[in-house]
Structure 1
Amino acid sequence: MEEPSPTPDPPTNQLGSLNDLAHELASLEDLATRGSWRSILDKVSRARSLNLLTSPHDHLIYLSYNVLAFSKLRRFSEASNEIDTLDDFNSSYYKYETYPRLYPNRSGSMIPFSLRFIHAQLPIKLGNRQEGLDRCYLLLKFIREKIKEKESHDLHDSVRIWKRRENSVLNCLIGHHLGDKEFSLSLDLIKDLINRDYLDPVLVSKLGYIQMQIGDIEGAKGSFNSVETMLNERKSDEYFLSEVQFRNLVNRNKALVYLVGKDYVSAVREYEECIERDHTDVVALNNKALCLMYLRDLSDSIKVLEKALERIPTIALNETLVINLCSMYELAYVNHSEIKRTLSNWIVHVAPDDFDASCTRVLISKDGR
């Protein structure tokens, strides 16, 4: 029931639209948006075999999408091999100013941030946790150097972009440390930002979640109250949150406090406020259903998740929600296997390529039925 960590953006560049710089970039972006990762691999392979990629930027962007597709499909060794072909990210070969005729009036690195992000994560996916953590901390250092550089030139928009990237990497690091129950390291990362007056409501909320996990309920309440104070000060634009997103964050924080106290009725009320504002708030939908399950109202809990999948399939279709729905089926129905099989068949037709269909826990017989 914890808030999800952010995921990296598709390959892009902070200098503006790149459609004029890369071969058919718009079609790659469209395929990524639809989760058609296998089609991306096919498109990259075809473009390379037909020598359609003519500029350094073409090759780099297509490689980035290839790496992203391999990663989404959990083909991490192939993603790692692809990145290794680049050798040194800081090479002059990957700088715009090296090619003034191709990229007039452009400077800086062509390496998309998402490629750096995936490069940092891959060792962990391949079983080398320490190397992955080391890369993540090096990436965090790189980002903070960029923030200082942009601040020294009063480039406020660039500072905001790099601070958002700092958030992504910090959330990733916090998630890894929490996964190994390294609570003190997670707390240190967040408190360091807070001590530097970097009051992002999502990070302060994350602090509250960690405090809850270590039993510091009063500390968590204090963190959540700080988030509500930020909302009242109307500073949502500073944190890339709309007012609806900010208000829903506050409601979800309140709901978690009720959940810890096993006051599921009050938690449901908070989640319903979120859903009334934004019917695509999947965290609220999922957690409302769990609360109803705890209240032994399996029928309504199942309806909440089924309606979410029906109304907003591209948003609601994630492994956590499907696992919860299947667990509810198992509790509610004797013939849950057939019901889950129906769900599994539906998922096959609507899910993106990277969806893990095994989360339905449907047993497939040897003859495929």
Structure 2
Amino acid sequence: MARGRRAEAKAALDGAAVGRDDDDDDDATFALAALRAELPYHLNDARGSLDAMCAVHAMCAREAREARGAEAREAWRRRRDAAARGVARRHMLGDDPRAALVWLDALARSEPDEPAHFSAAGRAHLMMGDLEGARLCFEAAEKKTAALGEAATEAQRGRVLRDRGDYFLTGLRFPEARTAFAAAMAKGETDVAAKVNSAVAAVYDGDLNSSRALLESGLANVVNADVNSKARAFISPSVVKNLNSIYELTARSPAEAKRAMNDFIKLVAPEDFDVTCMAT
């Protein structure tokens, strides 16, 4: 959604009531509140988005306490945890892993069998430079994924491998990181994080050509990807900047290679893409 349309959407939502009457649909109430909390982030108001998401969490917690009947309480508990995941994610995006861990700890207590909470906690520890804490969290996530047996999805299994790769990458164990990321990509070809981090590991491992191939293939996958596909997340300033740097070192004609790549990005990038990253 372009920035102008996001602003229009926010204005429209601000005019809608969020308070819930007995006759209101609970799912719609939660969805509206969550959407109102999400939009400010895309309008460069990260603090406002975080505060709004915390308010959504408080609303859901209150409804869970006051709901009549086990089914209604459970529904609001699920919504409360969804809001908590949103708050934790906002803290991670805001480079505040310690605050994120507070919410992730609460989520792990509420949903102790969910591997994603432990995986996210491991990433928070990596952000803080705490390799041992990350290792313990990632091992817990792996055990909980294994405990799911056949019910574990390919995405969950792939996340275990990506966690392993990120742990090795942060620990400067680049060959092992590349092996883990390759296994993660085998589980899901659209795993953007695994492909980008594998390319980073390849650079540090002295293999610029493999890094270039990974980044270029990720961009190529965008061409036929659905507008809502995760593959489109590959169009990012970091990928463009990394490729520009690699072209300087590997391309026969760096200027021509960068110009061709930038022209391609202009064709497939969303309207609000930060074009300043394409400066050569």
Query: What SS does structure 1 have at the residue aligned with 2:3?
Result: coil
> How far does the alpha carbon of each residue in 1:256-293 deviate from its partner, in whole angstroms, 9 at most, with x for none?
22112211101111111112222222221111111111
1 or 2 for the larger relative contact order (CA 8 Å, sep ≥6)? 1
Say if 1:123 and 1:132, in contact at 8 Å, map to a contact too.
yes
Could you tell me which of 130, 134, 144 is aligned with 1:216? 130
Say if 1:340 and 1:360, in contact at 8 Å, map to a contact too.
no
Say if 2:72 is the partner of 1:142. Answer: no
Say if 2:154 is the partner of 1:244. Answer: yes
Could you tell me which of 287, 291, 294 is aligned with 2:204? 294
Say if 1:347 and 1:357, in contact at 8 Å, map to a contact too.
no
> How far does the alpha carbon of each residue in 1:28-56 deviate from its partner, in whole angstroms, 9 at most, with x for none?
xxxxxxxxxxxxxxxxxxxxxxxxxxxxx
Aligned to 1:318: 235
The correspondence of residues 70-81 of structure 1 with structure 2, limited to 5 A, is 72-75=1-4, 76-81=6-11
The correspondence of residues 271-286 of structure 1 with structure 2, limited to 5 A, is 271-286=181-196
Query: What SS does structure 1 have at the residue aligned with 2:71?
Result: coil
Whole-angstrom CA distance in 2 between matches of 1:147 and 1:261:
42
Whole-angstrom CA distance in 2 between matches of 1:189 and 1:151:
26
* Greater helix content: 2
Change (3 A) 1:131 1:258: closer
Aligned to 1:84: 14
Supply the AA of the counterpart residue of 2:209.
S
Higher Rg of the two aligned structures: 1
Say if 2:250 is the partner of 1:350. Answer: no
Say if 2:49 is the partner of 1:132. Answer: yes
Q: How many residues align?
A: 271
Say if 2:167 is the partner of 1:257. Answer: yes
Whole-angstrom CA distance in 2 between matches of 1:91 and 1:151:
15
Supply the AA of the counterpart residue of 2:155.
Q
Whole-angstrom CA distance in 1 between matches of 2:148 and 2:68:
24
Say if 2:144 is the partner of 1:230. Answer: yes
Supply the AA of the counterpart residue of 1:89.
V
Query: What SS does structure 2 have at the residue aligned with 1:279?
Result: coil
Change (3 A) 1:150 1:202: farther
Aligned to 1:121: 38
Q: How much identity, in percent, do the aligned residues show? A: 22
| Unpaired stretches in structure 1, ≥5 consecutive residues | 1-71, 98-106, 364-369
Change (3 A) 1:147 1:230: farther
Say if 2:245 is the partner of 1:327. Answer: yes
Change (3 A) 1:153 1:131: same
The correspondence of residues 155-170 of structure 1 with structure 2, limited to 5 A, is 159=75, 163=78, 166=80, 168-170=82-84
Whole-angstrom CA distance in 2 between matches of 1:168 and 1:341:
43
Say if 1:285 and 1:308, in contact at 8 Å, map to a contact too.
yes
| Unpaired stretches in structure 2, ≥5 consecutive residues | 226-230
C-alpha RMSD of the superposition: 3.3
When structure 1 is superposed on structure 2, of 274-283 and 263-272 the one drifting more is: 274-283
Give the TM-score normalised by the residue count of structure 2: 0.80
